[in-house]
Structure 1
Amino acid sequence: MRLLSSTSKSLICAFAASVVSVSALAQGWPTKTVTVVVPWPPGGPSDIAARPLSKSLTETLGQSFVIDNRAGGGGNIGTAAVTRATPDGYTLLITSSAPIVINPSLYKKMTFDPLKDLAPVTNLLRVPLVLVAGPSVPAKNLKELMAFIKSKNGQFSYASSGSGTPQHLTSELFASVTKLNMTHVPYKGSAPAIADLLGGHIPIMFDSTIAIMPHIKSGKVRPIAISSAQRSPLLPDVPTFAEAGVRGIESYAWYGLFAPAKTPKDVIAKINAETVKIMKQPEFTKIRAETGSDFVGDTPENFGKFVHAEAARWSKVVKESGATVD
């Protein structure tokens, strides 16, 4: 019988120790404060998911989950920080889809590859976008709006909450499908874009139900069509684009939970299980109802497939529309 060399024994022991270490990390996690990076300004749509989730995780797991808003670069700055963090479950990311599946196609230089450098945990919210017209636009439905835009002979602008956002790309998809000539006017967030829309300085914009619903309810903006496959319970009288006569425009603003790549799978599984459990509780159910989101809690594997499919989809939209970062 051949004896193992001392080197082989050392390697086996080291491997066994690493397996035990990873397992122990998953069982004990969390033993200290967890930082949840949100790569957007405080109070934005991502916070709507991040803050109640962090609060519930703190209460459930007995360790603090602290929000760290790191805005800038269309979400790239905060997201990049997470990709560089130690993959131990103590730095997480909650973000909209932009830096994950849109920015890689829009930005010429990216310091990270979100599909390789991040580990998907679960989707949190998925909300449709609404095309709304401001007080300066006489159109009352999609057909009238399209005719109004065409009558401007290219002298027509639309607002978005920022270059590379789902709002921007959905607008470009709309322009591409309908062959309408419009100029993009990006803003630094939904709030200033909506302010100019209400003031009559910009005629139309796409925005998520999260941001635009209060202004629709107040009657200050007119909803034209919604980007979901079916009508939203929040806006039962607003048609989908397909119902309004334009097919090929289905789009959502989604918000997901990620960890740095190479975070142990057992830790990812525990974060996922605790998060999905919270998503089924009354507080989060209320948030879903108020934002018009379906329940989208999923396994890390399925969420990963969804993210890859979204990246391929928006890459095609960017290429076909010629969209760029302004």
Structure 2
Amino acid sequence: MYEKAFYTAKEAAEFLQINEKKLYVLAAGGQVPATKVTGKWLFPVQELKQFLIRDALSQCRNNTDPLLDQGFMLFAGSDDPILNRIFHAFHAAQPQLEIYYSCVGSFRGLELLGRRQCHAAFAHIYHRETDEFNFHYADHYLGPDRYVIINLFRRDIGFVAHRPVTSCREIRDRGLLLVNRQQQSGIRNYTEQLLQADQLKAAELNIFAQEMLTHFDVAQTVSRHDDGVGIASRLTAAQFNLTFHKLMEERFDLVVCREVFLHPNLIRFVNFLKNSVPAEFSAIEGYHFELAGQTMIRGENK
């Protein structure tokens, strides 16, 4: 459906949930995006949305939030090949709600959540000492008991290559080209743990110059280099006809700040994860949805 480029003052006031008199004061003071045409104020729709995204999250308190109240959910963090499919399915089921998502890596997502610059973060960071996903790092960025962790799925993660690879030591010994993920991603963190376990340093490996932002990018780049190898999901290995050696079954979670966890629109998303995602996506190879939509408990859902 076509979306108009500008709101009238009445429409903008309704969108921002303020009265028109206050809107005119804000517009005259340059505090909201606005322009005057033949003496009338007009308000650019997309810029108003960005205005809300930039400025409204600081008001997040007591399960109310100006963005969530209007149906806008801001997510940040890790990448997964089926995330967009889940978002599209959710929007089809709840067309009044919109998800804005920034793929910045698990660590960066938690950092943004800790600063209340998003409503929730996707993360899958393994902590070897506790044999847990996400709790240790959520404690660091948000503080203990300041968040709730909801599972989306578990997924198979492993080496993707033209010929089977089983360890980082093998990558070094065979002189293979390691296609690595970006800093602050969960996979990059896991890769560094594997190197440490094999008593290797990154300098001992032949590493591709450009860091990848997604699993798809890793598998695609590996497919273009006969000696390439990377760590990615089973799904992306199949997409590029690469071999896959499973390293772990990884838990992919949604971390939500406790202040807004019980907001009705976030509850709708969690219920969708629990009630609709398993049936709709269970046929995808390498994904496991038994815990989808469930609250994770420290030490019990490894």
- With normalisation by structure 2, the TM-score equals 0.56
Residue 288 of structure 1 is matched in structure 2 by 282
Matching residue's letter, 1:126? R
Correspondence list, 1:15-34, <5 A: 32-34=70-72
More helix by share: 1
Which of these residues, 247, 262, 273, is aligned with residue 259 of structure 2? 262
Does structure 2 conserve the Cα–Cα contact (< 8 Å) formed by 1:123 and 1:296?
Answer: yes
How far apart are 1:205 and its partner, in Å? 1.0
Could you tell me how far apart the structure 1 residues matched to 2:164 and 2:233 are?
Answer: 20
Could you tell me how far apart the structure 2 residues matched to 1:277 and 1:147 are?
Answer: 42
Matching residue's letter, 1:226? K
Could you tell me how far apart the structure 2 residues matched to 1:45 and 1:115 are?
Answer: 30
Cα distance, 1:272–1:212 mapped onto 2, change above 3 Å: farther
Which of these residues, 224, 237, 241, is aligned with residue 212 of structure 1? 237
How far apart are 1:103 and its partner, in Å? 10
> In the TM superposition, what whole-angstrom CA distance separates every residue of 1:214-237 from its partner, at most 9, and x where no partner exists?
113xxxx222x212xxxxxxxxxx
Show structure 2 runs of 5+ residues with no match: 1-60, 127-132
Could you tell me how far apart the structure 1 residues matched to 2:188 and 2:62 are?
Answer: 42
> In the TM superposition, what whole-angstrom CA distance separates every residue of 1:177-229 from its partner, at most 9, and x where no partner exists?
4445535543233333323211116521110124332113xxxx222x212xx
Does structure 1 conserve the Cα–Cα contact (< 8 Å) formed by 2:113 and 2:121?
Answer: no
Could you tell me how far apart the structure 2 residues matched to 1:80 and 1:55 are?
Answer: 30
Instruction: Describe the SS at the equivalent of 2:254.
Output: strand
How far apart are 1:113 and its partner, in Å? 1.0
Instruction: Describe the SS at the equivalent of 1:285.
Output: helix
- Higher RCO (CA 8 Å, separation ≥ 6 residues): 1
Could you tell me how far apart the structure 1 residues matched to 2:166 and 2:193 are?
Answer: 15
Matching residue's letter, 2:243? R
Residue 35 (1) aligns with residue 73 (2): yes
- With normalisation by structure 1, the TM-score equals 0.53
Matching residue's letter, 2:284? E
Residue 182 of structure 1 is matched in structure 2 by 205
Matching residue's letter, 1:275? V
How far apart are 1:44 and its partner, in Å? 5.0
Cα distance, 1:118–1:161 mapped onto 2, change above 3 Å: farther
Residue 222 (1) aligns with residue 243 (2): yes
